[in-house]
């Protein structure tokens, strides 16, 4: 069977992280990941998303509730340079 190559992009809003200014701050991040699978049945999007939220929360030393996945549109609207 041929492998399937896909690219997954996820966009995140991260609140209260010292990296973005501490309590009350909002920052944004994105992850772009290339995946090679035998079948899309082999990929659990929900588990991957939860794992990435946990990873950002741990890395930024904030709660998981302070990290949420957002749309590309919301990400771009909030990261555009003036």
50: phi then psi, degrees, rounded to nearest 5: -60, -40
- Residue 31, φ and ψ in degrees, nearest 5: -125, 130
Residue with token string 């749309």: 71
> Could you tell me the residue ranges of all domains in the chain?
4-79
Q: What is the pLDDT of residues 19-67, one digit of tens each?
A: 999 999 999 999 999 999 988 888 899 999 999 999 999 999 999 999 9
Angle at 31 between CA 26 and CA 33, to 5 degrees: 170
Q: Express each pLDDT in 64-75 by its tens digit.
A: 999 999 999 999
**Secondary structure of the chain: what % helix, strand, coil (to 5)?**
40, 35, 25
Distance CA 63, CA 77 (A): 24
Arithmetic mean of pLDDT, 8-17 = 98
pLDDT at 1: 66
């Amino acid at each position: 069977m041929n492998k399937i190559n896909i690219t997954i992009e996820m966009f995140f809003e991260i609140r209260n992280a010292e990296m973005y200014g501490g309590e009350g701050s909002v920052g944004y991040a994105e992850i772009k990941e290339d995946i090679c699978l035998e079948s899309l049945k082999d990929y659990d999007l929900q588990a991957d998303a939860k794992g990435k939220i946990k990873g950002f929360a741990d890395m930024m030393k904030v709660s998981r509730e302070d990290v949420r996945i957002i749309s590309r549109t919301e990400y771009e609207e909030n990261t555009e340079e003036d």
